[in-house]
Structure 1
Amino acid sequence: MGTITNDNEFIVLDINSDSNNFKCLASVSSALSAARSDVEVLDETINSIKGLKPDCDKIDYALAASSGALCGIIDIFLVGKPGDTFLGNITDNWFERRTCDFAKICGWKGNEQNPVSSAISYLERYFKVPYDQRGCGDAGQFIFELNPTNHHFKSLAHNPSLLGLFVSILDQFTNSSHFILNGELIELVDADGSFKLRGNTLMGKLWCGFVNWFGHLMSDVCGSSGSSGRGMGIPSPLWTWMNSIIAIKSKLGIPVGEFDKNFNELALTLYKEGYDFRFQTTQLIPVLVNELIVRLCYSIRRAIGYYRETPDEQRSFKAMWNRCAPFKNPTVKRMLTVAHGTFCLVDIGDATIRGFVTGAGSFNPVEFFLRLNIVGLGRFTISLYGETKREINYYKAKNKAIFAERQKTVLDFYISGLQQLEILYDDKEYLTLVDDLRNNDYLTAFTKSTSLAKLRGVPEKKILTTKSDIDNYFNN
């Protein structure tokens, strides 16, 4: 083991020596290489914090807030509540065309006089299910108080959700119907004597059950075949979750509370007012527009900055895209949080005012929830969750980055010392001094020893520079 010092800096070199060999196990160059690798790892830790902190300026915040306010105004005047609204009519017509297109795929020949009603009637016959009691003279009317305005909501199998799919397949296998009535889960056994689930194997029956469920939902998305006007479509998946809670509690033997029942009644009232899957889709439009505007504003500003700051010969599409891609970076996510928050502020303010106005001195919760854009509220909740998660990760990474910076400072000092030592002492050349002596290459060994003495600061008077100096030294 050898120690080489230089003022206040030192490095320990691990040297092996035996009768046949003289070898440096830890050279200056290998120590430098290891230290630089450690610095690269520390730099990655330090730079990781940059990907967690947004880099928004005042213009970014202003653009995001303006987008949210604009889309909030669109929601107030073009979405409003279920009924005769501009975007609502567009959405209803779109679903009617998709229903006719789906019916044609399934073999419907078309009907020019009343195409939508004819397509719905065809799909209802083509995708027959045992749980479609409408309350028109059937068992559902007398037992479950079903009628054409509520049977889609009360029937669990009509829910466009995983629970709805599960109950639908269960009802088809057992020829039964499951409904939610007054906060209770009710089952109608032997619901349809003529129904028979197709399929010769278990997997075949499961597939046919899924196809029947989806096809029947397509027949109901625009209302029933006998509906007049807009009709009662399939319920909103964001409001039928209370049905799911009641069903799960009933199966687990957990008492259903008054809150569950009251909220379920509120959801049913909203559904009767036209708050179905089609209107939920209408509410999605201003939320998507808000999302699109913010991402476009982010990309356009960064693209302009890239072309302004980058010389023509250094420009590339990849570099530009990396700079202005509106995905997976904290800056655009912060802008989206501001935009959706502003949108919700405008929307909730309008819904609250109209709730008091229509309540004639009291608050009308039905009017409030009819106008509340629950899609926008859900999107804002997701943004808030992301912001909270990033802040937590930021503070965790910040502590690691601070510690990494301290480690890097020590390593930088260490590397600086190694670099000076590398200049003063070329270990690849001078550690072979013993080999030269062993091989009787005295001239080379003498030259190396003289150079080494000068580099290591040996006083000039004590350095043996000529053959006579060596002879005198050994003879004395």
Structure 2
Amino acid sequence: MDNAIIKKDILLNLSVEDGGFDFSTSIADAMAKAETELVVLNETVDSIKGLKPDCDKLDYILATSSGTLCGIIDIFLVGKPGESPLGNITDKWFVARTIDFAKLCDPEKKNFDSLDSALRFLEKKFKVPYDQTGLGDAGKTIFDLTAKNHHFKSLAHNPSLLGLFFSILDQFSNTSHFVTDGQLVSLQQADEKWELRGGNIPSKLFCGFANWIGHLISDVSGSSSSAAKGNRGTGLPSPLWTWTNDIIAIKAKLGLSVTETDKAMNELALNIFEKGYDIRFQTAQAIPVFLNELLVRLIYAIRRLFRYFSEIPKTERSFALMWKKCEPFSNATVKRMLTVAHGTFCLVDVGDAVGRSLIAGGGTFNAVEFVLRFNVVGVGRFAISLYGETRRAISYNHAKKEFDFASKETVIISNYIEGLKILAHQYDDHHLLMFISDFEKSDAYIEAFGKSVTLAEVRNVPVNRILKSKPDIDKYFGGK
């Protein structure tokens, strides 16, 4: 290539709008566009970077410690039904809520002084046709339907969508559906005195739904007869185990055969329910899981809060910036810590459940003992964390090329902006550009043209193309 000097023009734009003048340089325009592009690139980099956790060793240690601590709480304070200090607390909480609900539904505002009186009121107010506790001696022998297990076997007593469906169906048709020995049994004309309130279909649906909710609450702490005897009573089955009934009911309606596995799982769920594993105990199991969640998020926020005050100068601190640095909800780092904490919790819980099941079985695995101590809420929460980790990993791998490109382009744009700043400083002719305001003054033509001529010379405009006076401008625009 020859040693020829390549010259590039620096364009100046002069426009008139609303009687005023607007003047800009290509340097300023390039600077503005580059800074806008840099903002977009930084947002892209930050969004992709946010998919990858930034945990240090102390984060992992604290998350593991939280999971271990809550696992120990689960072992000694939750345990299994009948031996659960936290279970006793949740039982009392449900008793109090049942009495509160009875007071809410009583128009006479009676003072229910005991669970027994509240349950008698609710059982009478929210009567349903599917509340059979037995079918006589023959029925008990054939269907094994008793006061101890009918809340589980009766589909309408299941706190699930399928339970709601069968409750509405039974109330409309005066029937009772229950599952026993892997079969779906339907009783016709279950209650001769039954009549669903409501003058039309919508009102009957509303009454049926209200009856379902009210009757479930009346059964959540046992029956009035068990409460009168001072017994815990059988509550409602856990929503996490009623699926064993749902499978059998759905297969029966579709004409599909029920497998031995379906029957075995249903029998296992029934056994643990009869031993006290109901929705009250399931709530007790959720307490250490929730505590683990709370501790990890609190640990994350406190650590980042100390880091914020140590790294950010006092003059630059703000609540918005502090929340961005410390909020423990929507970032990949705290979610990774939660995965570690809940995984540790499950290891501790499963280890204890396996050990206790082997002891209870005399060296052989006792499935009922294992399930009674197995915290299914913790496993469910851990599964959610694993699902989130998988999604973030897939999203990051898909966006990694875009991230690498955006990172490199950010460096290029930053260097480009620095070069523009140097160029703008070299062409620091702001005082010469004051001729814009002079154009707006009717008696300042000579001074304005003098500045424009000087500016043109600085910008290396060829001498023969510089308009040095107003007559030159008039001739130029007049076509002469």
Bin the TM-score by the shorter chain. 0.7 to 0.9
Residues 43 and 324 of structure 1: is their aligned pair in 2 closer, same or farther, counting only changes over 3 Å? Answer: closer
How far is 1:212 from its partner? 0.5
Aligned to 2:184: 185
Q: What pairs up with 1:296-375 in 2 under 5 angstroms?
A: 296-375=298-377
- Kept in 1: contact 2:216–2:236 (CA 8 A): yes
Aligned to 2:56: 57
| Structure 2 SS opposite 1:52 | coil
- Kept in 1: contact 2:52–2:396 (CA 8 A): yes
**Counterpart Cα distance in 2 of 1:349 and 1:11:** 77
Residues 32 and 140 of structure 1: is their aligned pair in 2 closer, same or farther, counting only changes over 3 Å? Answer: farther
- Kept in 2: contact 1:424–1:456 (CA 8 A): no
Q: Tell me the percent identity.
A: 56
**Counterpart Cα distance in 1 of 2:36 and 2:7:** 21
Aligned to 1:264: 266
Q: What pairs up with 1:48-447 in 2 under 5 angstroms?
A: 48-107=47-106, 109-110=110-111, 112=113, 115-135=114-134, 137=136, 141=140, 144-227=143-226, 229-412=231-414, 415=417
**Counterpart Cα distance in 1 of 2:25 and 2:139:** 87
Can you list the C-alpha shifts for 1:18-46, whole angstroms capped at 9, x where unaligned?
A: xxxxx999955444433332222112111
How far is 1:298 from its partner? 1.8
**Counterpart Cα distance in 2 of 1:139 and 1:132:** 18
**Counterpart Cα distance in 2 of 1:378 and 1:103:** 33
Between 1:162-171 and 1:137-146, the stretch displaced more is 137-146
How far is 1:166 from its partner? 1.6
Between 1:99-108 and 1:352-361, the stretch displaced more is 99-108
How far is 1:418 from its partner? 5.7
How far is 1:206 from its partner? 1.3
Residues 13 and 86 of structure 1: is their aligned pair in 2 closer, same or farther, counting only changes over 3 Å? Answer: same
How far is 1:351 from its partner? 0.3
| Structure 1 SS opposite 2:300 | helix
How far is 1:310 from its partner? 3.9
Matched residues, number: 447
Between 1:288-297 and 1:126-135, the stretch displaced more is 288-297
Can you list the C-alpha shifts for 1:226-284, whole angstroms capped at 9, x where unaligned?
A: 23522111000001112112222222233222211111111111111111101101101
Q: What is the TM-score when the length of structure 1 is the normalising length?
A: 0.82
**Counterpart Cα distance in 1 of 2:39 and 2:9:** 22
Residues 426 and 397 of structure 1: is their aligned pair in 2 closer, same or farther, counting only changes over 3 Å? Answer: farther
Q: Residue type of the partner of 1:294?
A: V
Residues 28 and 309 of structure 1: is their aligned pair in 2 closer, same or farther, counting only changes over 3 Å? Answer: closer
- Kept in 2: contact 1:60–1:298 (CA 8 A): yes
Q: Structure 2: which 5+ runs fail to align? A: 14-21, 437-444, 470-480
Residues 105 and 454 of structure 1: is their aligned pair in 2 closer, same or farther, counting only changes over 3 Å? Answer: closer
Q: Structure 1: which 5+ runs fail to align? A: 1-5, 16-22, 433-440, 468-476
| Structure 1 SS opposite 2:406 | helix
- Kept in 1: contact 2:10–2:459 (CA 8 A): no
| Structure 2 SS opposite 1:185 | strand
**Counterpart Cα distance in 2 of 1:9 and 1:187:** 94
**Counterpart Cα distance in 2 of 1:205 and 1:125:** 18
Aligned to 2:440: none
- Kept in 2: contact 1:341–1:380 (CA 8 A): yes
**Counterpart Cα distance in 2 of 1:397 and 1:328:** 19
How far is 1:57 from its partner? 1.9
How far is 1:335 from its partner? 1.5
How far is 1:175 from its partner? 1.0
Can you list the C-alpha shifts for 1:306-360, whole angstroms capped at 9, x where unaligned?
A: 3333444544444333322222122221211111111111000000111111111
Aligned to 2:17: none
**Counterpart Cα distance in 1 of 2:154 and 2:98:** 21
- Kept in 2: contact 1:160–1:235 (CA 8 A): yes
Can you list the C-alpha shifts for 1:68-88, whole angstroms capped at 9, x where unaligned?
A: 111111111111011132111
Q: What is the TM-score when the length of structure 2 is the normalising length?
A: 0.82
Between 1:354-363 and 1:294-303, the stretch displaced more is 294-303
**Counterpart Cα distance in 1 of 2:42 and 2:323:** 24
How far is 1:449 from its partner? 6.7
**Counterpart Cα distance in 1 of 2:207 and 2:9:** 76
Residues 32 and 306 of structure 1: is their aligned pair in 2 closer, same or farther, counting only changes over 3 Å? Answer: closer
**Counterpart Cα distance in 1 of 2:137 and 2:202:** 32
**Counterpart Cα distance in 2 of 1:138 and 1:126:** 28
Q: Residue type of the partner of 2:382?
A: F
Q: Residue type of the partner of 1:297?
A: I
**Counterpart Cα distance in 2 of 1:313 and 1:410:** 31
How far is 1:137 from its partner? 2.7
**Counterpart Cα distance in 2 of 1:24 and 1:75:** 73
| Structure 2 SS opposite 1:226 | helix
How far is 1:146 from its partner? 0.5
How far is 1:96 from its partner? 1.5
Between 1:400-409 and 1:412-421, the stretch displaced more is 412-421
CA-based RMSD of the aligned residues comes to 3.7
Aligned to 1:45: 44
How far is 1:412 from its partner? 4.6
